[in-house]
Amino acid sequence: MSVALLRIRLGASRWTLARTRSLNLEIVVPRLLVALPVLFNLWFLRSETIVVQNPNDSHLHFAMVRWARDQILGGHLLPVDGWFPALLDGACSNFGAGCVTRERAALMIGTSGAVRTVYETARPQPRPGLFLHWVDETRVVEGGSLSDGGNLYAWIEATLADGGGSLAGRDPDSHGLTFLTLLGGERSPGWHQHAKGAIHGLTFDTTPLDLRQAGLEGVAFRFADVAELLPEIEEIVATGGALLNDHDWVQIMADALGRPLTTSGVKEASLRGAAVLALERLGASPAPAQLERVVQPRRDRTEAFRAARERQRRLYEVVTSEPTS
């Protein structure tokens, strides 16, 4: 059996394909297909100071994906002893939460955050500000991602003393702050990876709770920017531990989006999604994903959030020197 081996020079865009007829890797190759992307990402994540320039556009990444896909579709790589090709956790999260149409999106906040849809298409068309990649031979995942999510929440908790307390009784934007939540750089929609966060409006009266509220609202405004780029969405399902564990943040998110937000009843959406996809390939039909309460936006706060979001947009333009749209 002729097997294509990938020899990688990590940290550069050079790669070569070498062929050998001396090895029979019918068992090993499917496992390599799982291991190579994992090792590739671990290498680049070995230090927080390393910046990957547009990783989704990496020639090496696409070469690996194209080669693997051609091998699978050509019948050269098939599941062995229950092994299936690896899938990205973002796509798995959508399948786990039951968000598998263009009309139903998953809004996930874990360490980072994303709004994603999964749908079937024969000719995918990339749109500005969004990512788009294949899930399998017929479906794609599309959406926008944020660098700041649960990591911002954790930063606030670790940095600010006495920043706890309920936000439920506080008026929106009552703190007078504009928090541009780009502490981890920007992904969607502008993709300014070196952008820095900013807080405008600090005074001696500003409290830790003010900063916490402004930060959570700031993340919600960024999600609203992404959601506007997906006008076909009719329903949004909230998922991810960082979001679902804070009821105040779920309410802020619904207010900022200006639409109902359905909370997922699935604790580990990516884990369930991987199982759903494996069962699908085996011909089984899993039960629908569990949904819980629907959080309605508070209409009396719409105008305040609109004004605060516009201030964030103006601050964004100053920080990045480029409009969001």
Average the pLDDT over 157-174 and give the result.
79
Cβ pair 229, 189 in contact under 8 A: yes
Residue 15 pLDDT? 33
CA-nearest of 149, 151, 118 to 135 is 118
Asked whether residue 239 falls in the same domain as residue 192, the answer is yes
Read off the CATH number of the domain in which 119 is found: 3.30.420.40
Residue 153 pLDDT? 92
State the residue range of the domain holding 163.
87-325
Q: Please give the Cα distance from 90 to 111 (Å, whole number).
A: 12
The domain total for the chain is: 2
Residue 20 confidence class, pLDDT cut points 50, 70, 90:
very low
- 198-200 and 131-134 beta bridge pairing: unpaired
CA-nearest of 241, 285, 230, 284 to 263 is 241
Asked whether residue 107 falls in the same domain as residue 69, the answer is no
- Long-range pairs for 157-160 at CB < 8 Å and ≥24 separation? 160/208, 160/211, 160/212
Q: Which of 36, 67, 86 is the last residue of a domain?
A: 86
Q: Label residue 83 left, alpha or beta by phi (over 0 means left) and psi (-120 to 50 means alpha).
A: beta
Encoded tokens for 119: 């749908």
Asked whether residue 78 falls in the same domain as residue 98, the answer is no
Asked whether residue 76 falls in the same domain as residue 109, the answer is no
Residue 219 pLDDT? 98
pLDDT > 60? residue 293: yes
Which tens digits make up the pLDDT trace of 35-87?
Answer: 666 565 555 444 433 333 344 444 555 566 666 667 666 666 555 566 677 78
Asked whether residue 298 falls in the same domain as residue 321, the answer is yes
Q: Which of 61, 86, 111 is the last residue of a domain?
A: 86
Distance of CA 32 to the CA centre of its chain: 26
What's the sign of the alpha-carbon dihedral 207, 145, 129, 303? negative
Asked whether residue 131 falls in the same domain as residue 25, the answer is no
Average the pLDDT over 88-107 and give the result.
96
Asked whether residue 132 falls in the same domain as residue 269, the answer is yes
Asked whether residue 124 falls in the same domain as residue 252, the answer is yes
Cβ pair 260, 107 in contact under 8 A: no
Please calculate the CA angle 97-99-102 and round it to the nearest 5 degrees: 170
Asked whether residue 219 falls in the same domain as residue 169, the answer is yes
Residue 82 pLDDT? 63
The per-residue pLDDT of the chain, averaged, comes to 81
Q: Please give the Cα distance from 24 to 3 (Å, whole number).
A: 7
Asked whether residue 296 falls in the same domain as residue 159, the answer is yes
Residue whose tokens read 């994603």: 116
Q: Which of 55, 86, 117 is the last residue of a domain?
A: 86
Average the pLDDT over 279-286 and give the result.
87
Asked whether residue 72 falls in the same domain as residue 110, the answer is no
Cβ pair 52, 22 in contact under 8 A: no
Which tens digits make up the pLDDT trace of 107-160?
Answer: 999 999 999 999 999 999 999 999 999 998 899 999 999 999 999 999 998 898
Average the pLDDT over 79-97 and give the result.
81
Asked whether residue 209 falls in the same domain as residue 316, the answer is yes
